[in-house]
Structure 1
């Protein structure tokens, strides 16, 4: 009976580890619990290795030794496989962007309800040379204040904000667009994400990409249905009919997008810029965790007519009030 129970338990452990490593094989990447586990690969790898060490404490017990060694082997294989998947997305956190080029510089930063303040946001935009700035959880008044500061320095920006409640920062999303890119109009006809707002802006003269500041809701238990619907919505914006540059807090990693992929893209036809240039595993959230440990849930994605050149998670702003790090990407138009 003990042997049978041992085999059954080993099979359950193996199944759980397989799902945690690659839930896409069974279409479970957006399932409750699994979605949360796969988003923090490095943390789960650490737990697996700790459990392996604990299990080895029982290896001296002869009757359970084969079971213990089997479990330790599975945990080590899981750590290697999941670690390899994570590393394959890129751990390069030192890439430099060329702000003097004619390329499009995109910055996204969830500001946790205006926490960094207008001066700090304007400083980061100035120093990075960003042309399109996606700011989830940033209100219209702060967006306008940032634009006024930049305009006074000879760097004017247009401000687009969508809100579900102006007084509550998390229910606001702002998009700042450099005047050098031309005039844009917010497109309300395409709909939006369900719980937290997304801004979709189209160029008035049709010359330039559709710019999107996205904010799908987090996959907390009571929001799982809305989270999945939000991911379907943003993926639908990358349907190949428009040139699209989209950035924001997606509350999801590349694993969660697996079922939305189209024509070689990561999210619809859009590709994740950071992973394309070897920086897709550098964590942007939370700021209390080092970048090698955190989750990459803040993204810049673009349709195939935009070639990612460089990407960087800005790690020097962890003490300005928000729990997200800015993500900066250089995109080159190739038509």
Structure 2
């Protein structure tokens, strides 16, 4: 009797833990220590759950005494894996299709370069191949960004360069953004504030006619930075305010972490909506490049306000050996009107 009661308690506790890890938003724990890390890797969690389910099932077949408990645990792990798989399926395992872009469209490329590790030629080649009008480069110094712009100009694609560096000690504390000369001149908004630990660049069009451009680098949820990580997401949600904003970069956060930070049910952060979610690419991992994309964490994003319609988005998986631990992402946007 006591053994059955103990088994029931164990199953209830495990079920509760797995429910929190599968859908922490239900309890408002999506930004909690530990939970935030597990939910970042839903695919890995599902694979581990299936592995444990198989092990428990085999043990249960070999030994009679714990069979009911192990069978119950196996069922819970299977349900946990299925929930994660369902969430990932809804978000999309990859969709490279795109509509034809017109002259009024804008192409956005974003790549965390891990402190200038990929060559300027590599970055410029991708930007030119994709026809990028906006290139956001977290962990990229002004010197590297200028070198990229020189290479692009030589190919008939002149770009303006803007950089914010919190210091010159670590390249990770620089964020750069390149904007096509065709978009007009931009100036940095130095009054809006910034993300806490790593810099974000906010550009406003000088003539007021183009989109506000935000090149993002929020800090990762590592020990000692959790409060700053949460504050960064809140700040980014507030920064995406208005009817014409494009925001891209390394958010160090998945869609789960951003739950509740959109102004409406259709937006992700503030007034901005995630392009990967809109195109069926939101389950494709952008970090790290050392594991397959479908097992990785989708923490890099391109977002835009509702005046932009997403006609294509991709996670570029052919640059995993270029040196960065992040994958480049690209999105094509078209005016919604």
- Report the TM-score range of the alignment, normalised by the length of the smaller protein: over 0.9
Deviates more, 1:74-83 or 1:262-271: 262-271
Alignment of 1:171-190 (within 5 A): 171-190=173-192
Structure 1 portions without partners, runs of 5+? none
TM-score (norm 1): 0.97
Query: CA contact under 8 A between 1:200 and 1:210: conserved in structure 2?
Result: yes
| CA deviation after TM superposition for structure 1 residue 259, in Å | 2.4
Query: CA contact under 8 A between 2:104 and 2:335: conserved in structure 1?
Result: no
- Secondary structure of the residue aligned to 2:72 is helix
Distance 2:130 2:120 in 1: 15
Alignment of 1:187-226 (within 5 A): 187-226=189-228
Distance 1:112 1:96 in 2: 29
Query: CA contact under 8 A between 1:99 and 1:128: conserved in structure 2?
Result: no
- Secondary structure of the residue aligned to 2:65 is helix
TM-score (norm 2): 0.96
Query: CA contact under 8 A between 1:136 and 1:214: conserved in structure 2?
Result: yes
| CA deviation after TM superposition for structure 1 residue 58, in Å | 2.4
| CA deviation after TM superposition for structure 1 residue 221, in Å | 2.0
Q: Residue 143 of structure 2 aligns with which residue?
A: 141
Distance 2:93 2:77 in 1: 23
Q: Residue 155 of structure 1 aligns with which residue?
A: 157
Q: Residue 245 of structure 1 aligns with which residue?
A: 246
| CA deviation after TM superposition for structure 1 residue 96, in Å | 4.5
Structure 2 portions without partners, runs of 5+? none
Residues 93-116 of structure 1: per-residue CA shift (max 9 Å, x gap): 433474665311000000000011
Residues 225-277 of structure 1: per-residue CA shift (max 9 Å, x gap): 100000001111123x2411000000010000002121121112211001101
| CA deviation after TM superposition for structure 1 residue 313, in Å | 0.6
Q: Residue 39 of structure 2 aligns with which residue?
A: 38
- Secondary structure of the residue aligned to 1:52 is helix
Q: 1:231 to 1:173 in 2, by over 3 A?
A: same
Q: Residue 258 of structure 1 aligns with which residue?
A: 259
Query: CA contact under 8 A between 1:310 and 1:330: conserved in structure 2?
Result: yes
Query: CA contact under 8 A between 1:93 and 1:282: conserved in structure 2?
Result: no
Q: Residue 26 of structure 1 aligns with which residue?
A: 27
State the superposition RMSD in angstroms: 1.3
Query: CA contact under 8 A between 2:95 and 2:279: conserved in structure 1?
Result: no
Distance 2:261 2:152 in 1: 37
Q: Residue 16 of structure 1 aligns with which residue?
A: 17
Distance 1:172 1:204 in 2: 23
Distance 2:312 2:158 in 1: 25
Q: Residue 318 of structure 1 aligns with which residue?
A: 320
- Secondary structure of the residue aligned to 1:62 is coil
- Secondary structure of the residue aligned to 1:274 is helix
Query: CA contact under 8 A between 2:116 and 2:171: conserved in structure 1?
Result: yes
Q: Residue 130 of structure 1 aligns with which residue?
A: 132
Query: CA contact under 8 A between 1:27 and 1:259: conserved in structure 2?
Result: no
Q: 1:97 to 1:105 in 2, by over 3 A?
A: farther
Deviates more, 1:26-35 or 1:313-322: 313-322
- Secondary structure of the residue aligned to 2:60 is coil
Q: How many residues align?
A: 334
Deviates more, 1:92-101 or 1:72-81: 92-101
Distance 2:64 2:154 in 1: 76
Distance 2:126 2:224 in 1: 35
